[in-house]
Amino acid sequence: MALPACAAPALGPPLQPERGAPARTTCPRRHSRVEAELAASRPGSAAASVRAGPPRGVSRGFNSQPLLEEPRKASSSLAGAERDPLFALLPGGRRRRMHDLRRRWDPGSLCRALLTRGLAALGHSLKHVLGAIFSKIFGPLASVGNMDEKSNKLLLALVMLFLFAVIVLQYVCPGTECQLLRLQAFSSPVPDPYRSEDESSARFVPRYNFSRGDLLRKVDFDIKGDDLIVFLHIQKTGGTTFGRHLVRNIQLEQPCECRVGQKKCTCHRPGKRETWLFSRFSTGWSCGLHADWTELTSCVPTVVDGKRDAKLRPARNFHYITILRDPVSRYLSEWRHVQRGATWKASLHVCDGRPPTSEELPSCYTGDDWSGCPLKEFMDCPYNLANNRQVRMLSDLTLVGCYNLSVMPEKQRNKVLLESAKSNLKHMAFFGLTEFQRKTQYLFEKTFNMNFISPFTQYNTTRASSVEINEEIQKRIEGLNFLDMELYSYAKDLFLQRYQFMRQKEHQEARRKRQEQRKFLKGRFLQTHFQSQGQSQNQSQNPILNSNPNQNLTQNLIQNLIQNLTQSSNQKENRESQKQNPGQEQSDGSTSNGTNDYIGSVEKWR
């Protein structure tokens, strides 16, 4: 039994082919490596001469190319075998088969083939899924109407066109920017936008006790009068965004005139050439860059009424407003701003009629700016005004000797500054928090009776949020801003209590309006009842009308309404007794049921 040549290397030396005949093997799937070895074993073959290389002493030149390069080592790719010089020694048929094999296992061709087959399989699966859906939905219709194949294709085309239009529309108008995508009729009721904002707890537990006067902040601001809104802008608290809302996003009889390319807008009162807003975007930095409470209270009256005589100056009210922010986030945001080259050198820091000296307020850097400073260097400067900036800018610095630290001990100075900042913040007309944009908008609208055009947007991703710090650095920042931390806790408690108080007041007002509507319905019912009584007396004299079967039903309805009226008349007494005895819930339940029955009877009667 003759063995194939594939097994020859295992039994002995390979069989030598005849001289001059092409090297062949009886195994058609054997790699061409066998032919190459056979050709190389011949003493006078071209492969042996190539392997031998040039004669000794003769070197290849720099630009000289050998006729046949040395065969490369065995590689895992068949493309290397095709570029091998021994590839030319193979027969034409085997070269074509190797070329087809290389093209078949090419990575690009393989990826294209896999992608094509995957898409085909996906389309086939989608076809079956859509067919099953259409058979479930339109199966009864097809069985009744015997829909033909053309109608099915037309329906499928319409459905696919609708899906494509929805996808394109969603891509063009994502999120809440497109009003057409708000299908309120098919969606659940819109949740309260103030219920949970920025991951705040739904139930707020107050820590401080405030009076009703502290919580009820409703300013009788007449834009046509002489009162003025003064915006105290603290660095890196979102004041720029809020300032733009005041001049561009508020509903006014005479809106502010804002020109393209200019930061300042003209905000005049209706019929007057006098501003009603003192802020960066209306009057500019008239009292200095980021003027604090001490500067504004002494500067604003002079700037507004400086040209008038003291007798001619109107008795105007100055309503101060500001925005606060979490101290750690604000501190990191200011550091990043200083890194980009911000200096605030134009700030005057005027206190008691003079700016501070260089000894009272030294600088933390020596060059033109402090750009590129690391966070550690920013925290190590003891004269950095970023430390407790919110307390310093909201307090009255004249109480502690301005910037002269030798007037009183540091502990007493910090206590006086904190109490002054809390007092000024509580008596301000309004203040908001950066972390609660929608609640800030709501409280401003309720305080000044002025509405914004579009709602505020809560940006949870800022430059400060992109800074990753460990727990140790965070604790150090909190230690450097310990006064701001206490002030922010106080401000947040007061802010949320004011919000809850205003919401409860709004609900009570809505409840009062509903009660007035019910009283109005009662009056209408009494008038209708007396008219129906007069008609019933006239009908009692006519025996033909008494034969009407609906007469008894009408009389029963009137009697039921009279009973419900009697029950609803006792509603006030029940409420008063409920205030005195809050444990009586049964009587309240019966009263509410009687009121509901009364409203339903009125609807039937109408």
Structural contact between residues 434 and 323, judged by C-beta atoms closer than 8 angstroms:
yes
The distance of Cα 316 from the centroid of its chain, to the nearest Å, equals: 40
- Say how many CA atoms lie within 13 Å of 372 toward its Cβ: 2
For 404-456, give the DSSP string. -TTSS-HHHHHHHHHHHHHHHHHHSSEEEETT-HHHHHHHHHHHHT--BSS--
What does the DSSP 8-state code read for residue 356? P
Contact 381, 361 (CB under 8 A): no
| Residues paired with residue 231 on neighbouring β-strands, in sequence order | 321
The helix/strand/coil state of 115 is helix
How many other CB atoms are found less than 10 A from the CB of residue 448?
Answer: 21
At residue 231, φ and ψ (nearest 5 deg) are: -100, 115
Q: What is the largest CA-CA distance in the chain?
A: 147
Q: What is the DSSP letter of 585?
A: -
How do beta strands 430-433 and 277-278 pair?
unpaired
- DSSP per-residue letters across 322-345: EEE--HHHHHHHHHHHHHTT---T
Is 290 among the catalytic positions? yes
User: Could you tell me the two tokens for 63?
Assistant: 């630009």
CA 337 – CA 93 distance, rounded (Å): 73
| Catalytic choice (290, 319, 349, 427) | 290
Structure tokens at 332: 């990191």
372 sits in the region (left: phi over 0; alpha: psi -120 to 50; else beta) called: left
Strands ordered across the beta sheet of 228-232: 277-278, 228-232, 318-324, 430-433
On whether the CB atoms of residues 403 and 356 are closer than 8 A, the answer is yes
Q: Answer positive or negative: Cα dihedral of 99, 104, 109, 110.
A: negative
Residues forming the active site:
290
